[in-house]
Amino acid sequence: MINHTELNSAPLTTDDMRNIARLNGQYSAKLGQSKCALLLARELEFGLARMWEVFVENEWDVTEKLFKSRDEAIAWLSG
């Protein structure tokens, strides 16, 4: 789980999100087929994370999911 509840993503651009996805792709072999839950508090971060999901889709084999609830994220990771 990645806790982004304190994140302020206001300065990030679309190009930044693409670059973050590419950086994530560099760890694809190490992460393999795993799960990644992202915990987000605000609508802005949730929306940018949705954009990131589109960009990272072809970069790695990780199944990622966005959450606003910590308990739901933990349940998904445990399931």
Q: What is the pTM for the complete model shown?
A: 0.88
Burial 41-66 (b: 16+ CB within 10 A, else e): eeeebbebbebbeebbeebbebebeb
Neighbours of 39 (CB within 10 A): 20
- The whole-number pLDDT of residue 38 equals 97
User: C-alpha angle with apex 72: 1 to 36, nearest 5 degrees?
Assistant: 25
Q: Please give the pLDDT value at position 49.
A: 96
Model pLDDT, residue 7:
95
Q: Residues 14-72: pLDDT tens digits?
A: 999 999 999 999 999 999 999 999 999 999 999 999 999 999 998 999 999 999 999 99
